[in-house]
């Protein structure tokens, strides 16, 4: 009996170590770095720029007519919401004498509006030229991480979500902003948590994420620029396919355009990113 007892205790300890190690591994899996970051950026780029080549989007800039002025850079920072201003300020710290510094006063004035006053075609050209500078790429990445990516990961971990949930939260932050108002990420998350339990609260991830996407869909339909719900349909498809770790391959449709992301394609995208740095 003693031998059986010790054997059982040993087995329980072993199972505890295995489960604990698995839990720790899952906890450390985030979209902050490596292949998961590249996968997330490619997914968001397919929605924002109709391309998987996210590294090409650092130079992007145009007014898309959504009332937020200029949309620019890797995730679409805007002159009307202030995050584009933050990027240029960060760039100034990294390279004090740069071609965008002169536009800081204008970016401050147009914050909160759709105005181009003090910006215009000259600013557009200056942005595209400056985006060849590694320092501006670093500035964009720094603001992405601070305002959107890290807060999204933190919130997802608090709710017990996997990398798929982290990506879904991040995409919502990019589109709606990280605020607490009803039409911001914080408001969407708050309503979703009122309607369904998160995995951390003992709920099912599928049920909670479906609720989150449903709440977000209602907000998106209120904006002319976001009536097409392709990005939400793609995310729900990944939930149904149990792509919890964003494991490849991923196949989806965005605005009637089909995308397929494989390990080979991801490696190519990552190599292109390094060659542009």
Q: For residue 11, name the pLDDT band (cuts at 50, 70, 90).
A: low
Q: For residue 6, name the pLDDT band (cuts at 50, 70, 90).
A: low
Query: What's the structural domain count of the chain?
Result: 1
Residues 6+ apart with CB under 8 A from 243: 164, 250
- Residue 15 tokens read as 């199972």
Q: Report if residue 182 sits inside a domain.
A: yes
pLDDT of residue 276: 55
| Peptide bond connecting 249 to the previous residue in cis, omega within 30 degrees of 0 | yes
CATH number at residue 204: 1.20.141.10
Range of 104's domain? 32-275
Q: pLDDT digits over 70-108, tens only?
A: 999 999 999 999 999 999 999 999 999 999 999 999 999
Q: Report if residue 240 sits inside a domain.
A: yes
Kindly tell me if the per-residue pLDDT of 145 is higher than 50: yes
Rounded Cα distance, 219 and 217, in Å:
5
What amino acid positions are annotated as catalytic residues?
Answer: 48, 66
Q: pLDDT digits over 24-41, tens only?
A: 444 559 999 999 999 999
Kindly tell me if the per-residue pLDDT of 126 is higher than 70: yes
* pTM for this model (two decimals): 0.88
Q: Report if residue 101 sits inside a domain.
A: yes
Return the closest-CA partner of residue 168 out of 58, 31, 25: 31
Kindly tell me if the per-residue pLDDT of 61 is higher than 90: yes
Q: State which H helix or E strand residue 88 sits in.
A: helix 83-94
* Mean per-residue pLDDT over the chain, rounded: 91
Kindly tell me if the per-residue pLDDT of 197 is higher than 90: yes
């Amino acid at each position: 009996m003693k031998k059986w007892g010790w054997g059982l205790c040993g087995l329980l300890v072993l199972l505890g170590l295995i489960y604990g190690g698995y839990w720790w591994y899952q906890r450390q899996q985030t979209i902050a770095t490596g292949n998961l970051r590249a996968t997330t950026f490619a997914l968001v780029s397919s929605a924002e720029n109709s391309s998987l080549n996210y590294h090409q989007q650092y130079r992007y800039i145009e007014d898309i007519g959504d009332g937020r002025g200029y949309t620019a850079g890797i995730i679409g920072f805007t002159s009307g919401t202030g995050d584009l201003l933050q990027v240029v300020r960060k760039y100034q710290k990294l390279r004090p004498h740069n071609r965008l510094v002169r536009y800081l006063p204008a970016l401050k004035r147009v914050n909160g509006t759709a105005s181009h006053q003090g910006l215009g075609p000259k600013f557009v050209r200056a942005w595209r030229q400056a985006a060849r500078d590694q320092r501006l790429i670093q500035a964009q990445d720094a603001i992405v991480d601070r305002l959107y990516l890290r807060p999204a990961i933190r919130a997802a971990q608090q709710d017990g979500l996997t990398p798929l949930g982290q990506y879904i939260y991040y995409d919502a932050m990019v589109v709606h902003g990280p605020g607490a108002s009803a039409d911001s990420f914080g408001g969407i998350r708050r309503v979703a948590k009122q309607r369904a339990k998160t995995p951390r609260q003992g709920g099912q991830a599928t049920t909670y994420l479906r609720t989150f996407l449903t709440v977000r869909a209602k907000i998106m339909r209120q904006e002319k620029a976001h009536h097409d719900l392709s990005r939400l349909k793609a995310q729900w498809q990944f939930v149904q396919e149990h792509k919890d770790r964003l494991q490849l391959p991923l196949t989806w449709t965005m605005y009637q355009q089909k995308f397929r992301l494989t390990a080979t394609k991801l490696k190519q995208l990552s190599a292109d990113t390094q060659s542009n740095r």
